[in-house]
Amino acid sequence: MEGVVLKLPSFRILNPNYSSPSSATIRLGFRSFSSSATDSVSAASIVKKGNQALESTSLGHITRPDFPILHQEVNGSKLVYLDNAATSQKPTAVLKALLNYYEAYNSNVHRGIHFLSAKATDEYELARKKVATFINASEPREIVFTKNATEAINLVAYSWGLSNLKPGDEIILTVAEHHSAIVPWQFVAQKTGATLKFVNLTEEEVPDIEKLKDMLSKKTKLLVIHHVSNTLGSVLPVGDIVFWSHNVGAKVLVDACQSVPHMVVDVQSLDADFLVASSHKMCGPTGVGFLYGKNELLSAMPPFLGGGEMIADVFLDHSTYAEPPSRFEAGTPAIGEVIGLGAAIDYLSGIGMQKIHDYEAELANYLYESLRSIPTVKIYGPVPSQNVHRTALCSFNVDNIHPTDIATFLDQQHGVAIRSGHHCAQPLHRYLGVSSSARASLHFYNTKEDVDAFILALNDTISFFTSFQ
């Protein structure tokens, strides 16, 4: 049952019954890596006022001027954007990079010998190098551009999965995975006879890592795991999980969509076989994501799509294929968007991912404690502590108020943008005993004032709906 969007006060109030799974403290492993990205960007120059400026002003206040979309009113109120797990906003540097491409050197890549084509190709391949450096891939050819992270997972499923899995093989996932990490492997299991096995949550509402470890066996051929949950905000010890998986001969695909934008991710340190992320969640344009794959794996995989530029030679009766990554980039790619992703990486690197992580860790605790202070709010996921890292994301429900009604009231009456629904994680919500939840998610350009405005608006929302009960 969905909430309806009407002009207030004409509101139909939805009061589903929610169960409330308990929350307690759990110790999660968390690896801290040093950043390997060194690029900087002029649009982030405001960040480079030195440590003294950063000590006196929060990172959110310093970077906020770089995001034009944040400086507007929505429904008569100042916009408070807290839906960053769905998509991030774009700094001026990224917008200018897109405009510059289309104004100055719009052309196809890897095809022409004229100046515009050569310039576009150089910038496109430079973006690949930037991505490789950003996640510390060993070489740029381990980066494949896709239209999003969903396509990147499907690429692995159809190219690696169909070629390497057979009846009796097992694929392990958790119940907390995004639909994009579940559905492709359902397709593969149906086609190959492989079996999907799922890891449940602990009482602390995080994937049961010890159970996962026990489930690994010689039958396990692939583990598909998120780094950060888009619903629970939990951070998994991916490095340890990869180590255990490799001990039984299994490959590991890491969904890093919610970690790459917020912390240092080092694929060589993690030793992940495959890793996917999405540009639009890391201050880049929509329409582009990327797959990291170890070179020896990509080289052994057949093409995912056929077409121009993924070939070596085409004959009437057969074709031969280019080496990776070209083998997996058929047709004209999203050139401007890839270049925009490169600009986003420059921007993030100019700030520093460790600095972003540290600042967001403070915001995460502030958001969690502020929400927890409201008696009728149930927050899902782990309780943060000295030993438990939680990202700046909280999915929650309020007693007897539908999350869609909460999100609608916050938007229409206060200009606060949050998410409501199942967050592409229906199995997880069913496991938690609810059909949907509200979600507030922050990025480095958010501030404690944003959290305060959200909490004030949420309290007003609760007061409004409880007045009808």
Catalytic position from the list 257, 283, 394, 424: 424
Tokens at 421, concatenated: 């629904």
437-441 β-sheet, strand order: 377-379, 393-398, 437-441, 419-421
**Can you tell me which residue has the tokens 């890491």?**
254
Do 249 and 269 touch, CB atoms closer than 8 A? no
Contacts of 430 (CB under 8 A, 6+ apart): none
User: Cβ–Cβ contacts within 10 Å for residue 240, how many?
Assistant: 14
| 73, 227, 253, 404, 423 from 436: Cα distances, Å | 28, 22, 27, 9, 8
Give every CB contact of residue 376 below 8 A, 6+ residues apart in sequence. 398, 399, 400, 462
Of 261, 281, 272, 325, the closest CA to residue 109 belongs to 325
Active site residue 424: yes
Find the Cα–Cα–Cα–Cα dihedral 177, 179, 185, 189, rounded to 10°: 100
CA distance 198 to 176: 9
Q: Dihedral of the CA atoms 305, 310, 313, 315 (nearest 10)?
A: 20
- Rounded CA-CA distance 199/175 in Å is 6
Residues with a known catalytic role: 424
